[in-house]
Structure 1
Amino acid sequence: MTKEEVKQHEREETDELTEEERQKLLEQYDTESNTRNLSGVVAWIVFGTLIAFSMFQLYTGAFGQYTAFIQRTVHLGFALVLIFLLYPARKNGPKNRISVFDWILATLSLIVCSYWPLYYETLVQKIGGISDVQFIIGGIAILLVLEASRRAVGLPITIIALVFLAYAVYGSYLPGSLAHRGLTFRQLVDVMFFTTDGILGVPLKVSSTYIFLFLLFGAFLVQTGVGNYFNDLAITIAGRRIGGPAKVAIFSSALQGTISGSSVANTVTTGSYTIPMMKRLGYHKNFAGAVEAAASTGGQIMPPIMGAAAFLMIEFAGESYWNIAKAALIPAILYFAGIWIMTHFEAKRLGLLGLPEDQIPKAKTVLKKIHLLLPIFVIIILLYNGGMSIERVALYGILSTIIVSMFLKETRIGFRGIIDALVSGAKTALGVAAATATAGIIVGVVTKTGLGLKMGNSLVGLAEAMSTNIQMQLMLTLVFTMITSLILGMGSPTTANYIITSTIALPALFALNAALPIEIPVLAMHMFVFYFGIVADITPPVALAAFAATGISKGDPIKTGFNAAKLAIAAFIIPYMFVLQPQLLMIDTTILEVSFILATAIIGMIGIGAGMIGFWYVELKGYERFLAVISGLMLIYPGLATDGIGLAIFIALLLVQMKRRKEDGPKAEVVSA
């Protein structure tokens, strides 16, 4: 047997993926990764355009942006041109060449997006409707954005946008409250490309300013080798513990979430290492894939970056970045604590131990590279102070990354590394730009037709028809909003996901605030739809992150998805809790109250985790599982009465478990998590 055959055999035995297999898996489940592999002169043209894209964003970030229309159309122009050059029209289309049709689309993108910079003075002074030429330009722009979004983001958001465009034109034919006067094609094109209410609206504004620079910051961090460092740090901290590989996956994915904007990409990147490790230890393949999918999806709700949605929330919710990151912290801690606790109980149930000592990096070696985390702390500190623009904070983050990388030879970013980061950052931004431009179409239609308010009133009206009790109406509206967010979030990347859910599902909560004698904080409402849009990635039947995980684990996608949803149970519970009790988001509360809330909530997650897995110190009986979940829910819900009842049930179950463990003897020996 040759050396190559031996290596192949070892890979098959451990289920480890080659780089080529990992890329194929990404292309299968992550639309944004399905790019062409070009060569020759064409490759240099694309390379130069990517560099120019990043340099334009760095320049405007450092020296000030152009006026809104010019900044956004130039940003959109770069994105559209590059998408048509890099993304094939079909998923399995040729990857080594660009078709004539795509060259035409790229040229049209350049012409259309140059129209605003070239005729800016004429366009801002126009009175009345648009000319025939402008109608053609705007119409082509809409079609180009939709096609680019289909290629770089996926079909779901494109279909939603098409439905909304159809509603804008033909809404007058609909019955009941959904009907509106309707827009002519000319009015629609005017709104979509010649105002800031459509394609060039707030979503694209955020993409062309904050988001691009933070994606670039993430690309520079990757060049330092921080991704591998996250894995080493996770193994050092969690590898020796019960079910070590699963806890490594959780810890590593939480860290990866600070620089990754995709649940699927996070799953494939971290999972290609952690899933085989979990399977070797003894976890079932469906559970191993679920742990990684759930943890990787949680990376999108982990401050400071939160899949770039935090920066969209600044505009949409009207809150400071710091308030958003602070509000997201406790729910994120509880989310990962829940997964950690359940994997621990599952490992105890199966009798799994930690990793062998020879597979754990030396603490001294890991601590040697601790400086790689400094740029993240620089970002947090600068954003906390609040005296600096977000664009400038991102620039300082990039600069600090380059400086910090110089501390060690193996982490140093040289000239080649800087170029690679500029290219990688621009590539990552393409899907975001297409998604935000398409989301602008949806937002524009909702704004012009009042659809959001109509849908919100309809959901509240349905809740009122089903119950006369105010609390029940509140819960029913929250459930309807959750279902809407889960459906809308399926198959969409984080940024588009949040824009869509906050535009379509969120109005129901605003309508609820107006209809009932309650006051839900605006930030709590935004976080509610954001959470459920994100967990769509692990909610069957779509569950893209779970499907991606099975590409590594070789498990069943649906079973993996259900396991992931069970592990991420906190994400289905906590949004209801922080709507009912905003103290979980650190709104209008004190440090003492927050500490108490966090402590009781984590104890509550232990109860829920034990109930969901069916094991604590020893196996739980059916009624004990039910009581464990009930105690957990009561402890998570802030309030002295519920905490007292929940704690009493929790302690009673704990004593029963300890007694039974003692009776069972040394087989049920407790090992610390």
Structure 2
Amino acid sequence: MSKSEKRALSEEELQELVAASDSGARSPVGSVGLFVAAVALIWAIFQVLLASPVAPYILPGDLINNSRQIHLAFAVFLAAMAYPLFRSSPRDYIPWYDWVLGLGGAFLALYGYFFYAKIVSNGGLADDSDALFALAGLIVLFIAAYRVLGPVMVALAVIFLAYVFFGSSEMVPDQIRWAGASLRKAMSHMWITSEGVFGIALGVSTKFVFLFVLFGALLDKAGAGNYFIKMAFGALGHLRGGPAKAAVVGSAATGLISGSSIANVVTTGTFTIPLMKRVGFSSEKAGAVEVASSVNGQIMPPVMGAAAFLMVEYVGISYVEVITSAFLPAVISYIALVYIVHLEAVKTRMPTIGNKVVSMGRTIGGMFAFFAGFAALCYATQYPVQAIVSLVPNGAGWVLAALLGLVYLALIWLASKSEDLEPDDPNAEVVELPDLAKIYKSGLYYLLPIIVLVYFLMIERKSPGLSAFWATFLLFGILLTQKSLKAFFRGEANAISRLKDGFKDLIDGMIDGSRNMIGIGLATATAGIIVGTVSLTGIGQVMAEFVEFLSGGNLVLMLIFVAILSLILGMGLPTTANYIVVSSLMVSVVVELGAQSGLIVPLIAVHLFVFYFGIMADVTPPVGLASFAAAAVSGGDAIRTGFIAFFYSLRTVALPFVFIFNTDLLLINVTWYQGIIVFVVSTIGILVFTAATMGWFMTKSRIWETVALLAIALALFRPGIFMDQIQAPFDETDPAGFSEALANAEPGSPFRLVISGPDFDTLEMKDVTVRILTPDVDGAEARLDALGIILIPEDGVQRLDEPAFGSEFGETLADFDFYGDEVVSITAVTSPASQLPKELIFIPALLLLGLVGFVQMRRARTHALKGATA
């Protein structure tokens, strides 16, 4: 063992690592352990009932209305039970002080529920006693968050809370000073109202996130995680660098159902990392591949570490739109990671595992056929469903349930013909590759809950909570019956008695789901303090000014600084809290400063931008938690693992800059055939970029070839930047003629207006670029009224009066002072020019790619001939 290589942790130690991070390291024994498990089970049952369509008929209205308080009460209590407060705290029993903190914290979380009438009588504001209880609640919340999430989240929340109280101090720089708040005002905002702890984030955790985390826990308990890993290893293990490619695909599959990059690393890494080391990857590179692929699981729809549901609330678009926008960047990022692994294997001529005939083309074709077939199946499900609904409108639900049951029975019968899948030993002397032809039948029924989830989300367009409820409800049936049905179909005598095993698996899965939710519940609650501080103090404006000062107004520098700040803010935070923090502080910065620089992009693009860089903190030293977990598995150096993982993640770092300037990558306002073109071209672009950063395409690249590959990638991702050099992208219109241009424009035609005027707070002059769409009404006056724009032509200047109250234009220009000495005016008007299709740039880019490939192939062939004759 080299000096740089440490001892890899044992399986037991690794499970303890995951437990300490995700579900709690304490497991009390005896009646206390049963009590804690019962509380976790009750929490799961409550959340399932809350998400069910019968919730209004089963649960009292006050429980539904105060579900956020109940959700937090369970999380705080179970945190005290499951997570030791100190390193020296006992692991097998619960000390007295944790009982006090747990029960006291649950009571304080439910304070608004118990004293609802009193708070309402005070107009929703805290009196002196309310403020003291709220302060105690915050302290207990901080203690719970510290024991579950670590010190970083708590320190961040305390700093923001201190700013609320002491922001008016002379010790605070003038640039960020504010008036400050009294204890009553601050506690009302943070604990009594829905602006702070009990805000949108905790609401999303209550309504949506719990069901998806429970869904993932139950699916894993059923055996789907092992099935996905075996399928990935069977499909890719025989290729050069196969274990690493299997790690990427397996992590993508488990990332669909996992909300934790650390759990993802350990779950797949305990099998794949030792195999990667056996075929030639160093400990650090093996760990880095697992880190990069596991962290990428957090950007993969449908869960995205719970961020997808928060984006629905923060951005104000549907869940389907969120995951549609997030899908393509996540997929091509994983494709690029597979390519990175392939290049690493080719560069070092790694051996293959097993004796299969290696066929990259057949492997890729088979995988594409599987995923395309699965997507087609999910889409085609709607047609038989519609037919049944039209034939039996009143009993369609029962008919569909019966048919789904028959399909499940058929797939279970098929699975019973194969042996149950057992986890493989990666350290065995002979590693046998799973035979896909034999094992694929053993887990096809695992796809049924996923199909149900996708159907309700994408076809029926039901809420995420209700969709997850029906998918989870199906999983209840699978866990209860799969073992007994398999035993029955195999002719075993103990088929009925296996129902007991299924019931135990279901209970264990529900308890696991609740324990996995403790951290997310506390993270969303604690992050609510930061959100509440932003809304109470307006510090978001201060962050914008800070970034503007650092960047000097340069757009690209501004985005780089926002990316760095998002990375710093995300260090040490779980995915959900990470997204809440970076979006609360950084989104407004990009929107405001971008508008001043002429960058106008959909809000979802900005949220994804900061989210991508926030989760990169899980990779990046010195805090990268996933890198430390991977190093514990591999026995390698954690810091080196983190740096290599960051290098492997360069394509994830580059993608946000791409889609912030080219929203086609987010499939925004593109047709289906344009979407296919975007996918194909973007995939080629990310592979070319990967080849450039790895310094290897067909063979080792020369400097000019690397530069050419980077230029090709830029042309494929942002063809408009080259087309704009050939033809101007915008036609300019005299501001004085804006009314006439608006009257003559086709409905839906976009205009960009540069608005200049004094800032409402500082009175300094500033420029803001706004984008408007021509309303579908006739005449200039009618269109201006529809937009809320009031023009006052004055001495050749197109002056603006304060826009109509409540109009979209009015909200955009709310930061201007319309009543000062300096006027607010339109200083520039542009509209899109008639331009050749930007896709024409793809032709020279692909020709140049062909040239580089041809040159490298000749060089590689020459080197091969020399090696053969040597």
Matched residue type, 1:433: G
- 2: CA distance, partners of 1:105 / 1:608: 52
Which SS does the other structure have where 1:42 is aligned? helix
Q: What whole-Å deviation, never above 9, does each CA across 1:242-264 have from its counterpart, x for those lacking one?
A: 21000000000000101111111
- The residue number in structure 1 matching 2:74 is 78
Q: What whole-Å deviation, never above 9, does each CA across 1:145-189 have from its counterpart, x for those lacking one?
A: 111111111211111100000000111122333111100122111
Q: What whole-Å deviation, never above 9, does each CA across 1:322-381 have from its counterpart, x for those lacking one?
A: 111111111011211111111101101111243214621122332211221221122112
Matched residue type, 1:235: F
**Greater RCO structure (CA 8 Å; 6+ sep):** 1
- 2: CA distance, partners of 1:52 / 1:355: 47
Measured after TM superposition, the shift of residue 462 of structure 1 is: 3.7
1:377 aligns with 2:447: no
- The residue number in structure 2 matching 1:657 is 856
Contact 1:168–1:445 (CA under 8 A) maintained in structure 2: yes
The alpha-carbon distance between structure 1 residues 386 and 462, as it changes in their structure 2 partners (threshold 3 A), is farther
Point out 4+ residue stretches in structure 1 off by more than 6 angstroms: 13-16, 410-413
Q: 1:421 aligns with which of 506, 509, 520?
A: 509
Please state which structure has a larger fraction of its residues in helix: 1
Contact 2:256–2:303 (CA under 8 A) maintained in structure 1: yes
- The residue number in structure 2 matching 1:431 is 519
Q: 1:214 aligns with which of 207, 212, 215?
A: 212
1:488 aligns with 2:569: yes
Measured after TM superposition, the shift of residue 230 of structure 1 is: 0.8
Counterparts of 1:89-128 in structure 2 under 5 Å? 89-127=85-123
1:61 aligns with 2:57: no
Contact 2:119–2:125 (CA under 8 A) maintained in structure 1: no
- The residue number in structure 1 matching 2:590 is 509
Which of 129-138 and 497-506 deviates more? 129-138
The alpha-carbon distance between structure 1 residues 195 and 606, as it changes in their structure 2 partners (threshold 3 A), is same
Contact 1:16–1:272 (CA under 8 A) maintained in structure 2: no
Matched residue type, 1:656: V
Counterparts of 1:132-531 in structure 2 under 5 Å? 132-173=128-169, 174-357=172-355, 359-368=432-441, 369-404=443-478, 406=481, 409=486, 414-463=502-551, 466=552, 473-531=554-612
Contact 1:260–1:307 (CA under 8 A) maintained in structure 2: yes
Measured after TM superposition, the shift of residue 564 of structure 1 is: 0.9
- 2: CA distance, partners of 1:265 / 1:668: 45
Higher Cα Rg: structure 1 or 2?
A: 2
Matched residue type, 1:409: K
- 2: CA distance, partners of 1:576 / 1:649: 23
Contact 2:23–2:82 (CA under 8 A) maintained in structure 1: no
- 2: CA distance, partners of 1:302 / 1:422: 24
Measured after TM superposition, the shift of residue 17 of structure 1 is: 5.6
Structure 1 gaps, min length 5? 1-8, 468-472
- 2: CA distance, partners of 1:444 / 1:488: 17
Contact 1:69–1:116 (CA under 8 A) maintained in structure 2: no
Matched residue type, 2:689: I
- The residue number in structure 1 matching 2:777 is none
Contact 1:491–1:542 (CA under 8 A) maintained in structure 2: yes
Q: What whole-Å deviation, never above 9, does each CA across 1:259-302 have from its counterpart, x for those lacking one?
A: 11111111111101100000001112211111000000000011
Measured after TM superposition, the shift of residue 528 of structure 1 is: 0.4
Please state which structure has a larger fraction of its residues in strand: 2
Measured after TM superposition, the shift of residue 93 of structure 1 is: 2.7
Which SS does the other structure have where 1:505 is aligned? helix
- 1: CA distance, partners of 2:545 / 2:843: 37
- The residue number in structure 2 matching 1:539 is 620
- 1: CA distance, partners of 2:714 / 2:686: 8
Contact 1:262–1:300 (CA under 8 A) maintained in structure 2: yes
Matched residue type, 1:19: E
The alpha-carbon distance between structure 1 residues 334 and 101, as it changes in their structure 2 partners (threshold 3 A), is same
Identity %: 36
Measured on the aligned residues, the alpha-carbon RMSD in Å equals 2.3
Matched residue type, 1:162: V
- 2: CA distance, partners of 1:32 / 1:553: 20
The alpha-carbon distance between structure 1 residues 528 and 91, as it changes in their structure 2 partners (threshold 3 A), is farther
Measured after TM superposition, the shift of residue 645 of structure 1 is: 4.7
- 2: CA distance, partners of 1:224 / 1:482: 39
- 1: CA distance, partners of 2:635 / 2:719: 41
Which of 617-626 and 301-310 deviates more? 617-626
Which SS does the other structure have where 1:303 is aligned? coil
- 2: CA distance, partners of 1:646 / 1:559: 36
Matched residue type, 1:524: A
Q: 1:569 aligns with which of 603, 625, 650?
A: 650
Matched residue type, 2:11: E
Q: 1:596 aligns with which of 671, 674, 677?
A: 677
Matched residue type, 1:481: V
Which SS does the other structure have where 1:328 is aligned? helix
- 2: CA distance, partners of 1:423 / 1:352: 43
- 2: CA distance, partners of 1:176 / 1:514: 25
Matched residue type, 1:456: A
- 2: CA distance, partners of 1:15 / 1:616: 35
- 1: CA distance, partners of 2:607 / 2:165: 29
The alpha-carbon distance between structure 1 residues 321 and 620, as it changes in their structure 2 partners (threshold 3 A), is same
Q: 2:15 aligns with which of 23, 45, 65?
A: 23
Contact 2:9–2:635 (CA under 8 A) maintained in structure 1: no
- 2: CA distance, partners of 1:336 / 1:250: 7
The alpha-carbon distance between structure 1 residues 545 and 615, as it changes in their structure 2 partners (threshold 3 A), is same
Q: What whole-Å deviation, never above 9, does each CA across 1:540-580 have from its counterpart, x for those lacking one?
A: 22222112111111222222112111211111111011110
- The residue number in structure 2 matching 1:46 is 36
Measured after TM superposition, the shift of residue 90 of structure 1 is: 1.6
- 2: CA distance, partners of 1:239 / 1:125: 66
The alpha-carbon distance between structure 1 residues 107 and 403, as it changes in their structure 2 partners (threshold 3 A), is closer
Measured after TM superposition, the shift of residue 218 of structure 1 is: 1.0
- 1: CA distance, partners of 2:715 / 2:648: 19
The alpha-carbon distance between structure 1 residues 192 and 351, as it changes in their structure 2 partners (threshold 3 A), is same
Which of 554-563 and 238-247 deviates more? 554-563
Measured after TM superposition, the shift of residue 59 of structure 1 is: 1.7
- 1: CA distance, partners of 2:514 / 2:71: 11
Contact 2:9–2:632 (CA under 8 A) maintained in structure 1: no
Which of 68-77 and 529-538 deviates more? 68-77
Measured after TM superposition, the shift of residue 608 of structure 1 is: 2.2
Measured after TM superposition, the shift of residue 668 of structure 1 is: 8.6
Counterparts of 1:32-43 in structure 2 under 5 Å? 32-43=22-33
Measured after TM superposition, the shift of residue 35 of structure 1 is: 2.1
- 2: CA distance, partners of 1:102 / 1:117: 23
Which SS does the other structure have where 2:334 is aligned? helix
- 2: CA distance, partners of 1:58 / 1:432: 17
Aligned length: 649
Measured after TM superposition, the shift of residue 134 of structure 1 is: 1.2
Q: What whole-Å deviation, never above 9, does each CA across 1:26-72 have from its counterpart, x for those lacking one?
A: 36xx6334421210121111111111111111122221475576211
Q: What whole-Å deviation, never above 9, does each CA across 1:472-526 have from its counterpart, x for those lacking one?
A: x221221111011100111111110100110011111121244233311000001
- The residue number in structure 2 matching 1:626 is 707
Structure 2 gaps, min length 5? 356-430, 488-497, 721-838
